[in-house]
Amino acid sequence: MAAIGSAAPAGAKARWGLVDIAVVIYALVPVLWIVSLSFKTKETLTDGNFIPRSWTWQNYVDIFNTNEFIRALVNSIGIALIATVIAVVLGTMAAYAIARLDFPGKQVLVGVSLLIAMFPQVSLVSPLFEMERGLGLFDTWPGLILPYITFALPLAIYTLSAFFREIPWELEKAAKMDGATPAQAFRRVIAPLAAPGVFTTAILVFIFCWNDFLFAISLTSTESSRTVPAALSFFTGSSQFEDPTGTVCAAAVVITIPIILFVLFFQRRIVAGLTSGAVKG
Amino acid sequence: MSQTLDKPVARAVGKKALSEGKKAERKLGLWLCAPAALVMVAVTGYPIFYSIWLSLQRYDLRFPDERKFIGIDNYITVLSNSYWWTSFGVTTMITVISVVIELVLGMVLALIMHRTLVMRGLVRTVALIPYGIVTVVAAFSWRYAWTQDTGYLAQLVAPDSALLTERVPALAIIILAEVWKTVPFMALLLMAGLALVPDDLLKAASMDGASAWQRFTKVMIPVMKPAILVALLFRTLDAFRVFDNIFVLTSGAQETGSVSMQTYNNLIKGLNLGIGSTMSVLIFLAVALIAFLFIKVFGTAAPGSDDGGKR
């Protein structure tokens, strides 16, 4: 803040460089620590060194040899992907209507989704637990997908309607003049233009589903639908007397990889999505 | 908004076409929103009423035969229980302290991301990692860092004591984990507000002899106020639900449990649906109250907040 001048002196650059490095350290240290632990051998696990003294892939070999982890990984990927697709499709439809059309109940819908965005998820755990047991949804994929869609929808609707407001709508009007119905205008003209926004929203929604822990441990009881974050807290190591630290860390690193990839490749989009949705909401 | 855009066209086409077009538009709008609205209402609206109904019953899954309507007895049980108030206090404390720290650090990070002269892309990318990372993963990282045998931080700070098993240090670590994870999110929201501050205004203030701190408090903060309030509201409500970090770091031992932990313990571990639902309803009411206060107290007090303060 000290140097706002347009010609940046080298000193200012160096100072900013130091500040930037501090940010990088802040953000990366916990991640690097868990990566480091995952590569430590059993003997050096407790040496407290930040960088492993001897490296091993053993922890990764171990987790990919246990059914528990593979199953949880499949559950995590499947549930998050399905929930993302459904939430984004429903969210796109609703956001288009909110951004573009005039219809009764619009304000109510916006209000309701804002309420849900602020809703304490734990308040739903008790009734959903009981309802899902009654409906046979407890400990199944749909049993997790449903609440994920619900809590992802407000996020999807806000982010998408913010994106949709910035689309050049004259094109839609032109299509309508050429005889397209509103539905056709939506499919043929607007949908392709909206694709980047939809994609960004999909990333945000996927991160949300991928992250969830509360529903994952409350609404599942076996490996048939337990996701990785939930399974992590039940890890006991490959044998009963073994300390699970190494395997927990390896599993943790595996589920962090997609997040790192998203952040690396879509940084701009994620920032745009998060800020547009939240501020204009 | 769309009305003003459509009007000239509609007028040109004629009155009859307008009403028919409007009708089609309304119908399409309702159809497009119906699925999203249905799912949201079915998965939140109905359960919240069901949860109120359950909270009025004695309903313990270990003794299903004793299920009975008992009115507000569960509320009396919970509200006169010291564990509940302890966890309520812990939750409130974690919420207030972490949101305050996040606001300060978030503002600092937002300024860095907004103003840095070098490596702007790198800083923004890296700052997104705490936001995106799975909370449980980060929590495990902190747990192992602060555990006596394995941890570099434990060895650095207090090699002879198990910090996670002592109440005050454990709470501090929980707050640290919360803050680390959410500062970038806070910073992004604030950065959006920062982008609204006109550079000319800052330059003018600087020419008039305003110091950096004066420019910050007198120019930036007022312009950013709506963005700050939205960020605070989002984070306060979010912090009040704190669960993942506590679950992994302490499992709520040494009275470090939040209200969400209490609910989970009563429900999933204790299988007491009546008490669990009562807590669910109470948390819902608490969150609703916080949101109401924010909108009532700050929302109306924020002048010129035509777009950030729009509920």
Structure confidence by residue, pLDDT tens digits, B207-264: 888 888 888 888 888 888 888 888 888 889 889 989 999 999 988 888 888 999 989 9
User: Do residue A153 and residue B135 have CB atoms under 8 angstroms apart?
Assistant: no
- Answer whether A7 touches B (CB < 8 Å): no
Distance CA A46, CA B169 (A): 21
A112 close to B (CB below 8 A)? yes
Task: Name, in order, each residue with C-beta under 8 angstroms of A164's C-beta and a sequence gap of 6 or more.
Answer: A95, A96, A99, A100, A190, A194, A197
Closest approach of B136 to chain A, Cα-based (Å): 6
pLDDT for B127-146, tens place per residue?
Answer: 889 999 999 999 999 998 98
Closest chain A residue by Cα to residue B46: A127
Q: What is the pLDDT of residue A44?
A: 81
B263 interfaces chain A, CB cutoff of 8 Å: yes
Q: Which of B:58-117 have CB within 8 Å of A?
A: 109, 111-112, 115-117
Does B51 reach chain A within 8 Å, measured CB to CB?
yes
Interchain contact, A23 vs B151, CB within 8 Å: no
Shortest CB distance from A34 goes to which of B47, B137, B233?
B137
Q: What is the pLDDT along chain A (281 residues), one digit of tens a residue?
A: 444 444 567 888 888 889 999 999 999 999 999 999 999 888 888 777 888 888 888 889 888 988 888 999 999 999 999 999 999 999 999 998 888 888 888 888 888 888 888 778 888 888 888 889 889 999 999 999 999 999 999 889 988 888 888 888 788 788 888 888 888 887 888 778 888 889 989 999 999 999 999 999 999 988 889 999 998 888 765 555 567 888 889 999 999 999 999 988 888 888 888 877 554 43
Which pLDDT score, from 0 to 100, does residue B103 have?
95
Judging contacts by C-beta atoms under 8 Å, the chain A residues touching residue B56 are none
Q: Please tell me the predicted confidence (pLDDT) of residue A1.
A: 45
Distance from CA of B70 to the nearest CA of A (A): 18
Does B36 touch chain A if contact means CB atoms closer than 8 Å? yes
Q: Do B138 and A30 touch (CB under 8 A)?
A: yes
Q: Inter-chain contact B260–A122, Cβ cutoff 8 Å?
A: yes
- Share the mean pLDDT of chain B: 83
Contacts of A180 (CB under 8 A, 6+ apart): A188, A189
Q: Which of A23, A127, A169 sits opposite B127 (nearest CB)?
A: A23
Predicted local distance difference test score (pLDDT) of residue A227: 93
Name the amino acid, one letter, at A11.
G
- Cβ within 8 Å of A, B 162-191: 180, 184-185, 188-189, 191
pLDDT in tens, B30-48: 898 889 999 988 888 888 8
Nearest CA in chain B to A270: B128
- The residue of chain B nearest to residue A36, with distances taken between CA atoms, is B141
Report DSSP letters for B118-177, one per residue.
Answer: S-HHHHHHHHHHHHHS-HHHHHHHHHHHHSTTT-HHHHHH-TTS-GGGSHHHHHHHHHHH
Judged on CB neighbours under 10 Å (0-12, 13-18, 19+), A200 is: buried
Residue B176 and residue B186: Cα distance in Å, rounded?
Answer: 15
What pLDDT, on the 0 to 100 scale, is given for residue A242? 63
- Within an 8 Å CB–CB cutoff, is residue B134 touching chain A? yes
Whether pLDDT at B11 is above 50: no
DSSP-assigned states of every residue in B19-64:
HHHHHHHHHHHHHHHHHHHHHHIIIIIHHHHHHHHHHTEE-BTTSG
Contact between A210 and A76 (Cβ < 8 Å) = yes
Residue B158 predicted with pLDDT over 70: yes
For chain A, how many residues are written? 281
Residues in chain B: 311
Burial letters for A246-266: b for 16+ Cβ neighbours within 10 Å, e otherwise?
Answer: bbbbbbbbbbbebbbebbeeb
> How crowded is the C-beta side of B9, counted as CA atoms within 13 Å?
13
Give the Å distances, CA to CA, from B272 to A219, B66, B84, B252: 15, 12, 15, 18
Q: pLDDT at position A89, please?
A: 93
pLDDT bin (cut points 50, 70, 90) of residue B189 is: confident
Residue A253 has φ and ψ, to the nearest 5°, of -65, -40
Interacting residues of A178 by C-beta distance below 8 A, sequence separation 6+ = none
Residue A277 pLDDT: 55
For B196, nearest residue in chain A (alpha carbons): A279
**pLDDT given at position B17:** 54
Please answer yes or no on whether A279 and B142 come within 8 Å at the CB atom. Answer: no
Q: What is the pTM of this model?
A: 0.86
Q: Is B50 exposed, middle or buried (0-12, 13-18, 19+ CB in 10 A)?
A: middle
HEC secondary structure over A178-239: CCCCHHHHHHHHHHHHHHHHHHHHHHHHHHHHHHCCHHHHHCCCCCCCCCHHHHHCCCCCCC
| CA dihedral sign of residues A149, A151, A156, A158 | positive
Phi, psi of B271 (to 5 degrees): 55, 30
User: If you ran DSSP here, which 8-state letter would residue A55 be given?
Assistant: B
Give the closest-approach CA distance of B91 to chain A in angstroms. Answer: 13
pLDDT band at B9 (very low <50, low <70, confident <90, very high): very low
Cβ within 8 Å of residue B307, ≥6 positions away: A279, A280, B226
Give the per-residue pLDDT at A94. 92
Question: Is it the case that residue B14 has pLDDT exceeding 50?
Answer: no
Asked whether A91 and A201 are in contact (CB, 8 A), the reply is: yes
Q: Cα Rg for chain A, rounded, in angstroms?
A: 23
Q: Hey, what's the torsion of the CAs at B295, B297, B301, B305, to 10 degrees?
A: -10
